Amino acid sequence: MVGAAGRAKVAAPMAPHLFERPQHNLTLCGQPINVTVTSDEHTPQELAVVRHACDVIDRTKTHFAPLMRDVPWHPIPFFGSLASARLLTFGLNPSAGEFSTGRSWPTRLSAEALTDRLTGYFADDAIAPHHPWFRAWADALAALGVSYRDGAAHVDLSPRPTASARTFSADPGRSLFLDMLNVDAPIWIEAVNAAPNAKLILLAGSATGKYYINEFIHAELAEYGVSLSPRWKRGTGEGQTAFQTFVLSSGRRIPVFFCSSGPSKPAILVRAVSANAERLMQLFRDG
């Protein structure tokens, strides 16, 4: 399988853009040329993330079966090309509606075929249109001059398309759901590491009624060598925001913008990102 560096093509001159594609300094006939990394094929790192997700789920699917809807599904550790992403949106878990009738998901997929479907999820020639859940994120990304087709990908705390998290607001379902998020954490951590060009993460929403997503990461995942700082103190009301930093076990640091309202409150999420667009763009440039 060819890595990102092996998928290069000569890029036509483009106007300046906040999220420029990674460039490599090469020469042609002695003259410098710009070479752009494209995402025509998945990378070994992206395939490894999918295989990791499949392995974890194979070992734990019986334990977490009460959380799932009774429909055929596949693990989705990411949407879009991690290799070419300069920005990651980050949520809770995939919608079970992703596997509804008419979305052309085969019952069986090899790890390679699943990885290809995920890296090409937002492509012009995608097998099915992306899920309506992404509309709010797409509008938020537009405020930063980026899109899922050019510069962004999506990662979730869990790759399992469970029933709606709202149905797990009380125990025992809530505790089981949070246990699932803990077990699945190494998968998204690997996915973030498989996005070496990511300079900014937009994080939004809650992890059951007990935590917001940033609170869950801070409180529950220190054992995996990740941290989110500074510690955020929640207030009241919708659309609370924070600027934080992911620190991975490798020492890699990625700026994070958090909004307490996720895509289920699209107007609030888009307004929060738009209101902070200037600072977010500056964080990206400094990354």
* Separation of alpha carbons 66 and 59, rounded Å: 15
Cα 273 to the chain's mean position, in Å? 16
In this predicted structure, what is the pLDDT of residue 38?
38
Here the tokens at position 255 are 């700026």
| Per-residue pLDDT reduced to its tens digit, 228-243 | 999 999 999 999 999 9
* Model confidence pLDDT, tens digit, residues 251-270: 999 999 999 999 999 999 99
Alpha carbon distance 270, 212 (integer Å): 18
Class of domain 43-286: alpha beta
**CA–CA distance, 196 with 9 (Å, rounded to integer):** 19
Decide if pLDDT at 8 tops 90. no
Residue 22 has pLDDT above 70, yes or no: no
- Summary count for the chain: helices (H), strands (E): 7, 12
Q: Which neighbouring-strand residues pair with 258?
A: 203, 242
| Residue ranges of E strands in the chain | 8-10, 23-28, 31-37, 78-79, 87-91, 152-156, 200-204, 206-207, 211-212, 227-229, 241-247, 253-259
pTM of the model as a whole:
0.84
For the CA atoms of the chain, what is the radius of gyration? 19
- Note the pLDDT of residue 222: 92
